[in-house]
């Protein structure tokens, strides 16, 4: 199992636009990508510009296929211009 936390720092005034695109990504990923156990969008309670996608994948292969998929590439292409600064992506294994 691979757990992913993809944390985005979005420009003020661009959060709604990001949320719309990210929700579409959540929808299409859940529909199309095999091996996807969990793929969810979250917003920080104290800073609405912090928008994070938390994911769980059966294995690295499933995650790699997702990141090569058309819908992922097209939808995340919009993220860069909405970002205030580079995000952080961590791939985790569960210890306990």
Residue 83 in the binding site for a second copy (CB under 8 A): no
Of the residues 12, 13, 45, 86, which one makes contact with a second copy according to CB under 8 A: 45
Count the residues of the shown chain that bind a second copy, applying the rule CB under 8 A. 27
Residue 62 in the binding site for a second copy (CB under 8 A): no
Residue 23 in the binding site for a second copy (CB under 8 A): yes
Task: Choose among 83, 90, 91: nearest CA to 8.
Answer: 83
Structure tokens at 65: 């296929």
Distances (CA, A) of 23 to 27, 29, 33, 72: 6, 10, 15, 12
C-beta closer to a second copy: residue 23 or 73? 23
């Amino acid at each position: 199992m691979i757990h992913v936390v993809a944390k985005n720092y979005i420009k003020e005034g661009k959060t709604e636009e990001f949320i719309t695109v990210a929700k579409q990504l959540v929808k299409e990923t859940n529909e199309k990508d095999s091996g996807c156990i969990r793929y969810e969008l979250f917003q920080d309670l104290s800073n609405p510009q912090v928008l994070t996608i938390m994911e769980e994948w059966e294995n690295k292969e499933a995650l790699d296929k997702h990141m090569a998929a058309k819908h992922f590439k097209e939808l995340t292409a919009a993220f860069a211009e909405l970002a205030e600064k580079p995000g952080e992506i961590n791939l985790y294994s569960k210890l306990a």
